[in-house]
Structures are given as C-alpha cells and as structure tokens.
Amino acid sequence: MKTIRIAFLTVGELAPTTGEKHGQLVGLFRGLFAQSQPTSSKETVQVVLDDFDVRNGIWPSPEDLDTYQALIIPGSAACAFDDALPWLPQLLAVIRSTYHNKPHIKLIGICFGHQVIARALGGKCVKNDKGWEIGVAEVTLSDAGKALFGQDTLRIQQMHRDHVPSVPNSQPFEVLGSTSVAPVQGLVNYYPGSKEIHVFTLQGHPEFSLGSDIVTRIIDDRQANGVFDAQLADTSRKLAVQDSQGVTVVGGVLWRRVLGIDAA
C-alpha cells in the first residue's frame, strides 16, 4: 500500500454548533479524500493528514516537513492580510521556503489558504468591495480550468469576503476561473517543463460539499454573532442548499492531478 502524507496547517475552526456535528476542518478534508478516492486505481493508496495547529505554535519541523508529499492550508475567519496575527509572518515564510526550497512538497490552498499562498508568492489579498460570496456559486472556468476539471463551469460552496484581486505575476500562475464577485477563483502552478501540479488553490470550499447543512450552519452562526444581517443570511441559505461539485469533481482532481493517483 502506498501512503501519501499531507501536513495540514490549521488556521481556523468551525463554530461549536457546526463542529459538533461535522467535526473540525481536518476531519472534513479527511472525509473529502475518503469520499472522492478513485474506486479503481493502479495501486492501493491511503492519504494521511497530520494536523498542525499553527495558531498555537505547533509547526512541523523542517526535517519533518521533508517527509510530506503535500501541505494543505484550509479556510479561516482570519484575514490573510492581517499582519497583527502573531502566526501569519511565519506561515508566509513557511510557504515561501517550501515552494522555493522543498519543491517535492505540493502546496494546496483552500479559501484563506488560496489567499495566503497568493500573498506569499507575490500576489495580494484584500477585502472585496463587492461584499460576501456565500453558498454555491457557478465558477466560469478559464482555459486552464477547463483543461484541469474537464468542464466549462464548476459549482462550489463559497464563504468569503476577502479575495485575491489579480493573478500573482512573480511566479508562473494560471487562473482557474472567475465569478462576478471574485475574479481569481483558483490558481495552478506547474513544475517547469511539465504538466505536473506544484501549487493548486481554490477560493471555494470543496470540503463543505460533505454535508448539506454545513454552510447553512455557518450562516446561522454568523448571523447570531452579528457578522451577517438577516437579508444576507436569508439569501445565502437559498444558495447554500444547491448542488455542488466539491467531492465529485474537485475531489477527483485532487486525487488524479494534484496527488497523481490515476485510475486504472
């Protein structure tokens, strides 16, 4: 059996009412990989996610990091441009060091992870003047996105106000798609001279496709805390229950194209 080890850098958590039912983010990503694993592959593969809560100073050592094939940075209520966060400078440094000095480790970023990877590698993250994007959105895929996902659009759960306004130009990134709210819905970076993926990011949340009420519960929590007003919450709940392709499409791309596990 082949084992793929992934370092999961926890940068946020779900509210208790959501976490008690569905578990925390590392558990959702374990479920995402489990539910999207190819039913028939050339070899038996297991994905192991080791959780490092970097907010509390728990980081993989440089030596330990060498044993991982990928690094995932998930979502967070934090802002990728908030330099007052005590752990953010080190996170930016780890991303840069991993990208430049440990190229065998693939970088995967989801929502906040997408934003902070973009910032670390020459781009920026800002608060979106167009406001929140919540619930299932239809992403219009670019040529790069169509080639990767094998379709023209991607329906994926969203939960963000911050965004990446443009493609970082210091590294060879390609944008995967856009919506009317956020023009950079994902990024891909290939190893030089090949189509093997080095960096893969998405603004949306494929892991939120695991439960039909995950996003609805987050909306409820944020309305109760005064983050969302009633109108925004009501509109977002209607979008949150629509069908999404986080497991069926994105999960398959993570296995086949990012991790390189092809079906037989």
Residue 39's contacts (CB-CB under 8 Å, 6 or more residues apart) are 263
- φ, ψ of residue 153 to 5 degrees: the values are -135, 165
Question: Active site residue: 22, 114, 160, 205, which one?
Answer: 205
The tokens describing 31, both together, are 């479920």
- The residue from 22, 79, 133, 207 that is catalytic is 207
Of 143, 258, 262, nearest in space to 198 by CA? 258
Single out the catalytic residue among 111, 114, 133, 198.
111
Helix and strand numbers (H, E) in the chain are: 9, 12
Instruction: With beta carbons less than 8 A apart as the criterion, state whether 124 and 80 touch.
Output: no
Q: Which helix (H) or strand (E) holds 112?
A: helix 112-120
Q: Is 259 left (phi over 0), alpha (psi -120 to 50) or beta?
A: alpha
**125 is a catalytic site residue:** no
Longest dimension (CA), the chain: 51
DSSP 151-216: SSEEEEEEEESEE--S--TTTTEEE-EE-SS-S--EEEEEPTTS--EEEEEESSBGGGGG-TTHHH
Question: Where in the sequence numbering do the catalytic residues fall?
Answer: 111, 205, 207
